Chain A
């Protein structure tokens, strides 16, 4: 079974950079997608295929993936970025493609 590990929480001050990690065995060889979920709302895709952004997603959102860790980076964090973030990887050995989620708190 392929396990994705995210920190439960990350805190950052407005204007600073937030980095949310997603750990998995040799995750660098897989495509990673990231979703943002604000309270009471459906998830929204913010980064796909490691580092691509859907249309309408600000350039402040970026992604990287190497080795055993994928990272979602949010630059110049705003209060409106406060949300839960989930990484997702498809692997044939697992039917749990989502990480446990990380709550981003903007201080």
Chain B
């Protein structure tokens, strides 16, 4: 059974950093691109970015709203994807979901999400 479990969310002050983790199981993690999608309270889904599999260079792409502040990485040996968030803003407050799939793919499995609250 495919499972994605996010962790690392919490309350953080504006301008600070936070790192989210997504631990995967039930599939060969290294074979898949992984994406992060967020949802602000009461709002719709917003794509954050994704990382390709190593077979496709392991490269990343980001939404303009987070480019230069957020970094996605992966550790295939541990089946974990990371979202490093720097220079956080109040508008980054959202539930962050880890999903399997990348650009051009369907996002076929989602984690339960982790809440990030950016507030002073």
Q: Given A42-B97, A42-B112, A42-B113, are A96 and B46 neighbors across the interface (CB < 8 Å)?
A: yes
Interface residues of B in 39-88 (CB under 8 A from A): 44-47, 61-65
Q: Which of A36-92 contact B (CB under 8 A)?
A: 37, 41-45, 48-49, 54, 84, 86, 88, 90
Q: Chain B: residues with CB nearer than 8 A to chain A?
A: 37, 44-47, 61-65, 97, 103-113
Chain B residues with CB under 8 Å of A44's CB are 110
Q: Are B107 and A33 in contact (CB under 8 A)?
A: yes
Q: Count chain B CB atoms within 10 A of each CB in A37, A44, A90, A101 and give the residue with the most.
A: A90
Contact B108 A48 (CB under 8 A): yes
Q: What residue in chain B is nearest A41 (Cβ atoms)? A: B112
Q: Which residue on A lies nearest to B108, using beta carbons?
A: A45
Residue contact A101 to B44, C-beta cutoff 8 Å: yes
Number of interface residues of A (CB under 8 A): 23
Q: Are A96 and B97 in contact (CB under 8 A)?
A: no
CB distance from B103 to the nearest CB of A (A): 5
Contacting pair A86 B106 (CB below 8 A): no
* A41-B63 Cα distance, complex, nearest whole Å: 24
Q: Does A97 contact B (CB under 8 A)?
A: yes
Taking a contact as CB atoms under 8 Å apart, the answer to whether A43 and B97 are in contact is yes
Closest A residue to B106 using CB positions: A48
* Residue of A with least CB distance to B62: A95
**CA–CA, A43 and B44, complex, Å:** 11
CB distance from B6 to the nearest CB of A (A): 10
